[in-house]
Amino acid sequence: MSNPSPLPSYISGATPNPASNRAPWYKNTAPTYAGIFLWFVFWQDAANAPNQGGLLSQGLGWALMSLVIAALVCHFLFYIVPGMLGMKTGLPLYIVGTSLFGAKGGFILPGFLMGLLQFGWLGVNIYFSSQMLGAFFGLAAGSAGVKIIMVVWGVLAAFVGLKGIQYVAKVATYLPLIPLTILLLLLVKTIGGVGSFDPQTLIAASAEAAPAALGKFGVLALMLTFVVGFFATAGAAGADFGTSSRHKGDVSMGGIVGVALAIIFTAGISILIVAGTYGTPDLAKDALAAGKDGVILQTPGLIPVIMGKSAGFIMFLLAIAAFPPACFSSFIAANSFKTTLPNVNPAISVGIGAAVAILLAITGWAGKAIIVFQIIGATFGPILGAMLVEYLFNGKKWSGPRARFNPAGWISWLLGAIIGVLPILNIYPVPAAPVAAFIVGAVVYAILAKAGMQTPLVPLPPALAETTK
């Protein structure tokens, strides 16, 4: 009798995506990522912060510069290495990640964690989309009617996600054009006031109880937290997107256009809309009158001021356009659980996760989007930091799976995650926590790898051995 393979079946049975199934960056990676950033939950807070003046406290130019820096961090630190690994191996994240966390540990990190966090995203989607739909139907925020919408929205998203990518694609083909059109429309309506914007207008009008205005470093740190935290899991999923790339040029261009430029375009327009609103005297007067607890800095909150009677319909369209991202979250979770929990019916695991997501939305916890971004950045930042070091140490290629649970990966992830959650727990205000978690994960992994705290590599079957060359 032959000896059984030392590798779990999910690794030994994996099949790299062949070259015949790959396509140019403008047909897969770029449009997929761009669609993520068109989701209003991303760009709605581009100028928002609890501090006086928000992220515009240091002026429009610095807010946009901070956004550009955050976009470049996403592309170069959080996306490019997973994308290259996916392209070179043809293998998805949960297999590529076994070089960090071990053949057994890879089931949990990043595999199971990726699926688990999708329900946090689903909860955020349910909360904000239902609030917009409720406003369209004249329902008060937090009312029973809005909570019913939350339940229906979550159940439908989970159902479509379980049905498979072909059904998700059917609802995602043209709907992203809606937020794109709305952003451009709002920009046209407010662009005339951009040149007259004065951050002191926002600072003076902010509630007295609001924290003091952020300095330049504070604006940059919070912008990094918001943008990088939002992108962290999507950056790791670059490995999955990379499997559809033909060469490194596809990976690079897919990231430059679909990640960096898409971030700058969507969030940048959102920032310009807020600045233009408060730079236009009539709009600024109405916006300040509408702000009950200070100025309105969330872009959707300014739509009634900018668009008047048509605002309700516009917000309804934004909510409808948010349905594909909800389905994608459910689909990714379903795929993750099919791999990590093969003996559990996906309808049960996804159903439980969707129920938790709906509960998070109903209780209002999912409405704290920045905290959600911080949690995601804290948990995936160190994974991507360690992945970068492993990639560079191994000559810019995949090293292959390591035996059991690789200590270097797990310790670097744990320490990085602890740093990332310190500000969430109000223990210590770590600036740009997702980036700090990334740096800690990278540094600790490098130290432990040099100290020999890695489990040995496990030989791959001949069909997969080519992926490490």
Which tens digits make up the pLDDT trace of 354-366? 999 999 999 999 9
Q: Nearest CA to 323 among 139, 167, 96, 103? A: 167
Output helix, strand, coil percentages for the chain, rounded to the nearest 5. 75, 0, 25
The model's pLDDT over 447-459, given as tens digits with 9 standing for 90+, comes to 999 999 999 999 9
Quick one: how far is CA 188 from the chain centroid?
Answer: 28
Question: What pLDDT does residue 35 have?
Answer: 87
Is the pLDDT confidence value at 156 over 60?
yes
Structure tokens at 7: 């590798």
Give the start-to-end residue ranges of the domains of the chain: 24-195+206-464
Give the whole-number percent of the chain exceeding pLDDT 90.
72
The reported pTM is 0.93
Residue 422: how many CB atoms within 10 A of its CB?
Answer: 18
What would be the CATH architecture of the domain defined by 24-195+206-464?
Orthogonal Bundle (1.10)
The model's pLDDT over 6-40, given as tens digits with 9 standing for 90+, comes to 788 888 888 899 999 999 999 889 988 998 899 99
Q: Give the Cα separation of 23 and 108 in Å (integer).
A: 30
Is the pLDDT confidence value at 135 over 60?
yes
Work out the pLDDT band at 3, boundaries 50, 70, 90. very low
208 phi and psi, to 5 degrees? -60, -30
| Residues contacting 119, CB < 8 A, separation 6+ | 329, 333, 353, 354, 356, 357, 360
Q: What is the residue type of 271? A: I
176 and 321 in contact (C-beta within 8 Å)? yes
Going from the C-alpha of 447 to that of each of 29, 73, 391, 452, the distances in angstroms are 33, 23, 15, 9
Q: Give the Cα separation of 409 and 390 in Å (integer).
A: 10
Structure tokens at 42: 């991303």
| Residues contacting 191, CB < 8 A, separation 6+ | 272, 276
Work out the pLDDT band at 171, boundaries 50, 70, 90. low
Is the pLDDT confidence value at 464 over 60?
yes
Is the pLDDT confidence value at 169 over 70?
no
The model's pLDDT over 282-333, given as tens digits with 9 standing for 90+, comes to 999 999 999 877 899 999 999 999 999 999 999 999 999 998 888 888 888 8
Going from the C-alpha of 329 to that of each of 37, 117, 299, 315, the distances in angstroms are 14, 9, 24, 22
Is the pLDDT confidence value at 81 over 70?
yes
Going from the C-alpha of 203 to that of each of 55, 142, 293, 302, 457, the distances in angstroms are 11, 29, 13, 17, 57
Highest mean pLDDT among 9-18, 135-144, 167-176, 224-233: 224-233
Going from the C-alpha of 211 to that of each of 7, 79, 294, 422, the distances in angstroms are 54, 34, 12, 20
Work out the pLDDT band at 2, boundaries 50, 70, 90. very low
Question: What pLDDT does residue 315 have?
Answer: 92
Q: Give the Cα separation of 243 and 257 in Å (integer).
A: 18
432 and 412 in contact (C-beta within 8 Å)? no
Question: What pLDDT does residue 1 have?
Answer: 38
Q: Nearest CA to 159 among 171, 148, 147? A: 171
Q: Give the Cα separation of 249 and 449 in Å (integer).
A: 30
Q: Give the Cα separation of 403 and 421 in Å (integer).
A: 29
Rounded to an integer, the average pLDDT of 88-109 is 92
The model's pLDDT over 201-216, given as tens digits with 9 standing for 90+, comes to 999 998 887 899 999 9
Is the pLDDT confidence value at 176 over 80?
yes
Q: Which residue has the higher pLDDT, 119 or 9?
A: 119
Helix ranges, 262-345 (H): 262-279, 281-290, 303-307, 311-321, 323-340
Q: Give the Cα separation of 262 and 391 in Å (integer).
A: 26
